Structure 1
Amino acid sequence: MARILITGGTGLVGKRLTQLLIDKNHEVLILSRNPKNENEFKWDIVKNYIDEKAFKNIDFIIHLAGAGIADERWTKKRKQVIIDSRVKTANLLFEKVNELKLELKGFISASGIGYYGAITSKTIFKETDKSGSDFLAEVCQKWEAAAHQFSKINIPITILRTGIVLAAKGGALEKMKTPAISPLGSGKQYIPWIHIDDLCQMYIQSIEANLIGIYNAVAPEHQTSITFSKTLAKSIKRPYLGIGVPAFMLKILFGELAVILLEGSRISTKKIEKNGYSFRFETLKKALNNL
């Protein structure tokens, strides 16, 4: 049994992960701006404050905190919020862990497949591939650099580069369930996705099986916007329209943010599978049937 401190514990992944960790008899503590429950402790990035009681006897920190990438248009101000909510929070955790001389068994951080850049290419990206050069790549580089600080104080680091998380309630899938389903733009871009339970199990494996290092956290099956839309339409019994939503319309609606809808490459899962992870939902059909 481990004692685990989670940031972003009230978000989509955080809630499900907390539930699954408790089911496995782990103890979960949560950092929150507005703590309500007994296992929640206050933190305030602006004031550089974390309630030190949150760190008592903890074995692991799981860092999931971060403002939603697709929640608002990417204004200059919003871009800074996206970066700061990931990086400043990790920096604060590092300062406190260092100050309290905590000997953690691991620091486990979320990151995104945006690390490789929002592009459609023939490459199937592996963890060793270099990062992209756009805004999302910059976010992920800074996010991961903040996590890597923990190696300076001999704490093992795990980073999970995550794709689109599919869950029964909330998240991307809810937004996709439109009255008619159609691909976006050319429809040829790939959509790297993962079932929320597979993602949570990867975090659990990081704790229970000492999964250290950087891993792509997406399902092994590659789907384009066209094939994804067809599978989704069939699964939820909605009509499929073969005409893609035009790229220019998405750019008008979402501004620069539209790039995450219009571009996407394949992502390799070989490393995590070689390290003992076996997917519960390796195909989109199986994932959607479950959800």
Structure 2
Amino acid sequence: MSRKVLITGGTGLIGTRLAEMLIDAGYEVALLSRQPGTSRYRGFRWDPQAGSIDEAAVTYADYIINLAGSSVSDGKWTNERKRDILSSRLAGTELIARELAKGNHHVRAFISASAIGIYGDQDDKVVNEQSPPAANDFLADVCQKWEAAAQSVAQNDIRTAIFRIGIVLSPDGGALVPLARVVKMMAGAPLGTGRQYMSWIHLDDLCRLLIQALEEPKWEGTYNAVSPNPVTNKDFTETLAGVLHRPLVLPKVPEFGLKLMMGEMSEIVLASQRVSAEKVLKQGFEFEYPTLKVALESFYGEEV
């Protein structure tokens, strides 16, 4: 049986690792890219902003995993940056949906990314997939529109699963890199009050979750892609310092200082999101790295 996976956003942090793990699992992988030929995988050209896509891309695929979207943590959220964050997610997802609506393909499942930003700042309240999206919140608005575009694929009788991804932990990119750098310099400190919850997931667990959703027909609808053990920012910082064998010498980094440095983007580190993993656990997914200490040791355990 043909096992061809087409990935959008395949050169990003998640896509890079996911492609490796898919190859290891016996899949063929191709990437949709504005500059195909720059990676070792087969590439199809697309330009979501221009609405153009190689006609052979969707007909190649048995499965599509949609991860495309510019990073929310690169640079301050100017109006232009915010437009890019939204349009880079919407345009690509809508373009794929339009292609799939044409028929004449053999796509068996569409797996799309979203983010736990949809819940906004929820203090210490546990949220799950039934919790309403936050109102008047930029990231929540982006996620709602992104998910609506992905859901339109399901109307074409294609099994669709959407994953609201938490803070992805990897030593190769994402939020962990600057946090670990600061702790290694012995300048680590909780951010803001330190009481805000961080719902995180190890990169490899996330990739295994996406592959399981691709393989098993029972995965359909919306799921939180977070570990079962969210932690406060204070606990996160202390656990990271412990694994890196560094002391925490500074008091908390004050909220106003973060807002001054990061502007609206400070929401990412100051918003509290205590997100439930119960639904993926009930689906039978088993986390390899369910606790933060185990996850961090998998990256930094040798650096003693």
Q: TM-score w.r.t. structure 1 length?
A: 0.96
Deviation, structure 1 residue 164:
0.6
Kindly provide the CA deviation profile for residues 107-142 of structure 1, in whole angstroms up to 9, marking residues without a partner as x: 11000001111x142321010111001111001000
Q: Distance in 1 between matches of 2:52 and 2:42?
A: 17
Q: Unmatched 5+ residue regions in structure 1?
A: none
Q: Distance in 2 between matches of 1:231 and 1:284?
A: 7
Q: Distance in 2 between matches of 1:128 and 1:54?
A: 34
Kindly provide the CA deviation profile for residues 84-123 of structure 1, in whole angstroms up to 9, marking residues without a partner as x: 0001111111111222433421111000001111x14232
Opposite residue 209 of structure 1, the aligned amino acid is E
Does 2:70 align with 1:63?
Answer: no
Does 2:22 align with 1:21?
Answer: yes
Opposite residue 50 of structure 1, the aligned amino acid is I
Query: 1:99-178 counterparts in 2 under 5 A?
Result: 99-117=102-120, 119-133=121-135, 134-177=137-180, 178=182
Q: Is the 8 A contact 1:250 1:258 kept in 2?
A: yes
Out of 203, 224, 235, the residue aligned to residue 243 of structure 2 is: 235
Kindly provide the CA deviation profile for residues 42-74 of structure 1, in whole angstroms up to 9, marking residues without a partner as x: 111233211122223411110000010111211
Q: Which runs of 4+ in 1 moved over 6 A?
A: none
Q: TM-score w.r.t. structure 2 length?
A: 0.92
Q: Is the 8 A contact 1:163 1:218 kept in 2?
A: yes
Opposite residue 205 of structure 1, the aligned amino acid is Q
Q: Distance in 1 between matches of 2:100 and 2:124?
A: 42
Opposite residue 163 of structure 2, the aligned amino acid is L
Which residue of 1 is the match for residue 302 of structure 2? none
Q: Distance in 2 between matches of 1:41 and 1:89?
A: 14
- Work out the number of aligned pairs and report it: 290
Q: Distance in 1 between matches of 2:3 and 2:197?
A: 37
Deviation, structure 1 residue 182:
0.8
Distance 1:224 1:40, change over 3 A: same
Q: Is the 8 A contact 1:103 1:155 kept in 2?
A: no
Out of 156, 174, 192, the residue aligned to residue 185 of structure 1 is: 192
Q: Distance in 1 between matches of 2:57 and 2:91?
A: 18
Deviation, structure 1 residue 168:
2.2
Q: Unmatched 5+ residue regions in structure 2?
A: 300-304
Q: CA RMSD in A?
A: 1.3
Opposite residue 156 of structure 2, the aligned amino acid is I
Opposite residue 125 of structure 2, the aligned amino acid is T
Q: Distance in 2 between matches of 1:5 and 1:230?
A: 39
Distance 1:168 1:122, change over 3 A: closer
Which residue of 1 is the match for residue 89 of structure 2? 86
Which residue of 2 is the match for residue 266 of structure 1? 274
Q: Distance in 1 between matches of 2:41 and 2:3?
A: 18
Which residue of 1 is the match for residue 46 of structure 2? 43
Moved more, 39-48 or 74-83: 39-48
Opposite residue 49 of structure 1, the aligned amino acid is S
Quote the sequence identity (%).
43
Does 2:210 align with 1:199?
Answer: no
Moved more, 46-55 or 254-263: 46-55
Which residue of 1 is the match for residue 7 of structure 2? 6
